[in-house]
């Protein structure tokens, strides 16, 4: 009888103690299956439209992944990269690293339109970017991961931030490490996320310096002994000393359309397309990064696990949740 009374008292206390009350709908943190009740078909709608877009244009897989990267590195993962310029606010799309370079905006526009039809003002543009990046990677043979969701969209963009915070293709290793550290990402994240260069292309203007500047760090490996390797000759044929700035070359010449670990094999041979690829090896004086690169080059499954872990971590940078930000009706403009 005493036990029954004690149980009744404890039950009453628990039910009437606000601090112990749990909510099934906590909007202040990112969670899995955030839209399970709010918009059950959200991830399926994103997946289907990414699949259609990538089937029509395989290069869009890299473009959608890159949109997520460039968004998260400027003010956090808040879809600020999607905002168009308006009076008093320059778009991040117009910044140096993004202008005439970022693609895939129309894919996001279509997905957002369909989601607004299905679940008005429910799914954020920032979450669409995160889901689309995951699906794009998987569709090209890469890993799948569960995306944490619940982001809100920013009310502004940062043109200056895009110019300052997005890593340049000719960055030194020290600059890359510092840049990633600003975002709360460590050296392991830098190496794993650099593996995204297994798909996609770069413009001549992004890798010309890597071809013609006589810097050993740009020509690690066989170039150290032979200035005119076959790979370098290929790059010279694509990108002359002057002109053809917008001519493209694949970031991974061996398997350009497949998300795999070949990027790491390339940079071990000095065949990274960008200067910032090759410095992972050439400027790694203590060998820590080189060991990671060797591990990923020899074990694709390990790379996939590390990549997924680091993308999830990146996707949580300075996110807006709860009452912060908004859910835009149109990803290109702040709600009025």
Burial class (CB in 10 A: 0-12, 13-18, 19+), 79: buried
Cβ within 8 Å of residue 144, ≥6 positions away: 134, 137, 138, 308
**What residues are labeled active site?**
70
Integer Cα distance of 275 and 34 in angstroms: 40
DSSP state of 19: G
CB 98 within 8 A of CB 32: no
As given in the structure block, the two tokens for residue 249 are 């070359």
For the beta carbon of residue 36, count every other beta carbon within 10 angstroms: 12
Helices marked H in 92-151: 105-118, 125-139
Q: Can you name the residues that pair with 333 across neighbouring β-strands?
A: 330
Contacts with 335 (C-beta within 8 Å, 6 or more apart), sequence order = 326, 328, 329
> Residue 167, by phi and psi: left (phi above 0), alpha (psi -120 to 50) or beta?
beta
Through-space distance between the first and last CA atoms of the chain, rounded to whole angstroms = 62
Residue 222's DSSP bridge partners are none
Identify the helix (H) or strand (E) that includes residue 54: helix 42-56
């Amino acid at each position: 009888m005493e036990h029954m009374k004690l149980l009744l008292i404890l039950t009453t206390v628990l039910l009437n103690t606000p601090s112990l009350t749990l909510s099934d709908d906590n909007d202040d943190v990112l969670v899995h299956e955030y839209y399970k009740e709010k918009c059950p078909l959200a991830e399926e709608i994103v997946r289907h439209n990414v699949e259609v877009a990538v089937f029509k244009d395989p290069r869009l897989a890299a473009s959608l992944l890159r949109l997520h990267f460039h968004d998260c590195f400027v003010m956090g993962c808040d879809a600020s990269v999607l905002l168009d310029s308006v009076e008093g606010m320059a778009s991040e799309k117009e910044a140096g690293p993004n202008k005439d370079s970022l693609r895939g905006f129309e894919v996001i526009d279509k997905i957002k339109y369909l989601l607004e039809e299905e679940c008005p003002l429910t799914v954020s543009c920032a979450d669409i970017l995160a889901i689309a990046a995951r699906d794009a990677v998987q569709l090209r043979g890469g890993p799948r991961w569960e995306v944490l969701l619940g982001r809100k969209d920013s009310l502004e963009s940062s043109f200056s931030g895009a110019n300052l915070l997005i890593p340049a293709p000719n960055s030194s290793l020290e600059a890359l490490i510092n840049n990633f550290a600003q975002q709360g990402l460590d050296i392991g994240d830098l190496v794993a996320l650099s593996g995204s260069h297994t798909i996609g292309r770069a413009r001549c203007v992004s890798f010309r310096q890597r071809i013609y500047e006589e810097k050993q760090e740009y020509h690690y490996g066989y170039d150290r002994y032979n200035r005119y390797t076959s790979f370098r000759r290929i790059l010279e044929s694509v990108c002359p000393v002057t002109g053809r700035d917008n001519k493209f070359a694949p970031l991974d010449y061996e398997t350009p359309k497949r998300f795999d670990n070949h990027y790491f094999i390339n940079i071990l041979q000095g065949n990274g397309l960008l200067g910032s690829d090759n410095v992972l090896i050439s400027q790694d004086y203590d060998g820590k990064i080189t060991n990671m690169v060797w591990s990923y080059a020899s074990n694709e499954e390990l790379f996939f696990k590390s990549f997924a872990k680091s993308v999830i971590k990146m996707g949580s940078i300075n996110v807006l949740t709860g009452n912060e930000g908004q859910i835009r009706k149109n990803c290109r403009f702040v709600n009025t």
